[in-house]
Amino acid sequence: MHVPMSSPDIAEAEINAVTEVLGTQWLSMGPRLAMFEEAFARYVGAKHAVGVNSGTSGLHLAMRAAGIERGAEVITSSFSFIASANCVLYEGGTPVFVDIDPLTGNVAPAAVEAAITERTRALIVIHVFGQPADMDPLFRIVRQHNLWLIEDACEAVGAEYKGRRAGTMSHAAVFAFYPNKQMTTGEGGMIVTDNAAWADLFCSLRNQGRDVFDGWLNHTRLGYNYRLDEMSAALGLVQLQRIDELLAKRTQVASWYNERIDAIPGVEKPYIAETTTRMSWFVYVIRCVGGINRNRLMTFLAGQEVPSRPYFTPIHLQPFYRDQFGWKPGDLPNTEKAGDTFLALPFSSVMTEPQVDYVCQQLAAGVCQQLDEAIVRYWAINTPRYVEGRANVAVPERQTYATQ
């Protein structure tokens, strides 16, 4: 059975919306972008939304608005996509990694507070896999120390923490719309904020530093080409209109997985915190436990044509960060254990129940292969103790867990 790692959920309405744009004179910086921004701000519950060409671009502009510069430190998690740390480096700052909660994978508030120094200027909080971080204690920490708080909500559109929607619990938040996300624009992102001055700054920075009152080819500040085009905005607007449907379909796929994962030894389903009042399923990530080797399991699944991915390889152990900052194994134990044991399975809103069945059947076979080998090793080690030197003792024939 063919099971892709992820797939966008594109219907006829999206195709028609993009085709309609191609028949107009506006392919960039036109009315669809404004409509998409207004609709997204309403959905999240923010006063302003600014479209950009990626979540990475949005995080970069948030660092610029927060005044991050050389010598400034920004606390964040190493258990994330690398953009949430790279954006700090773009402005000359230093990302300071802290450890995570071992259950959720989100940053641990106590670790954040312990890492604050006189050079700390901001905290980037990642809502990992679509589950909001524990925001109340984090907000108390940033308020006490007068820090900027940025939500990396690139994986969490529609997620809720104690009834509050992701993107509304910080000075600014960034969402991303890559094809494997809950909703997509192909490439694209969105910054939301209640700060009007920041929103104006984001609009200028994404368009080569031009301000609204600048004349043609006049530029007030150093800016970038981070614009979101009209075709992408049109696609995003229709996807946003379908967002509750898209999230519900992903929740159903996650439910199918949960039912089956519960019956497989050696792996655990994702942990959902009590504070998460709405999970926005970005990926479906299991945890390998009881001595199951995650990398061997990935190799087995690949042999059955089931793709899987390690989520995440910790940023602090990436070659560049080790060479540049001297990070090493052992610095962040919870993060590194998650990096060694977490495994993302195929997941999307268009995935079918038979596909989930097939993935879980192969997953069970791969797990049981390792458990079976462990039993063989146990017999090899312990049989001599029981037979006390007697020769030719027959070892009972065993069935594997997979055949059972």
- Digit-coded pLDDT (tens) for 114-133: 999 999 999 999 999 999 99
Structure tokens at 352: 């079918």
Rounded to a whole number of angstroms, the CA Rg of the chain reads 24
- Measured between alpha carbons, how far is 130 from 80 in angstroms, rounded to an integer? 12
397 pLDDT tier (thresholds 50, 70, 90)? very low
Distance between CA atoms of 265 and 292, rounded to whole angstroms?
Answer: 9
Q: Give the Cα separation of 99 and 315 in Å (integer).
A: 12
| pLDDT (0 to 100) of residue 383 | 58
Structure confidence at residue 375 as a pLDDT band (50, 70, 90): confident
Active-site residue flag, 181: yes
Q: How far apart are CA 130 and CA 262, in angstroms?
A: 21
390, pLDDT greater than 70 = no
Angle between the N-to-C axes of helices 230-241 and 12-22, in degrees from 0 to 180, rounded to the nearest 10: 150
Closest CA to 228 of 11, 32, 10, 7: 32
Q: Tokens for 381? A: 């080690």
Report which of 175, 163, 84 is spatially closest to residue 122, judged by C-alpha positions: 84
Helix ranges restricted to H, 152-284 = 196-206, 230-241, 243-261
Mean pLDDT of 240-268: 97
Tokens representing residue 281 in the block: 């399923």
* 3-state secondary structure at position 5: coil
Q: And the tokens for 293?
A: 């080797």
Supply the pLDDT for residue 45. 98
**Beta strand segments in 15-58, E:** 48-52
pLDDT given for residue 216 in this prediction: 79
- pLDDT computed for residue 36 by the predictor: 98
C-alpha 96: how far from its chain's center?
19
* Cβ atoms of 242 and 235 closer than 8 Å: no
Parallel, antiparallel, or unpaired for β 276-278 and 160-161? antiparallel
Percent of the chain clearing pLDDT 70 (strictly above): 94
State the catalytic residue, choosing from 47, 162, 181, 328: 181
Question: What is the DSSP secondary-structure string of 151-190?
Answer: EE-TT-TT-EETTEETTSSSSEEEEE--TTSSS--SS-EE
Helices (H) and strands (E) in the chain, counts: 13, 14
At residue 283, does pLDDT exceed 90?
yes
**404 falls in which pLDDT band (50, 70, 90)?**
very low
**Rounded Cα distance, 145 and 280, in Å:** 30
Q: Of residues 246 and 381, which shows the higher confidence score? A: 246
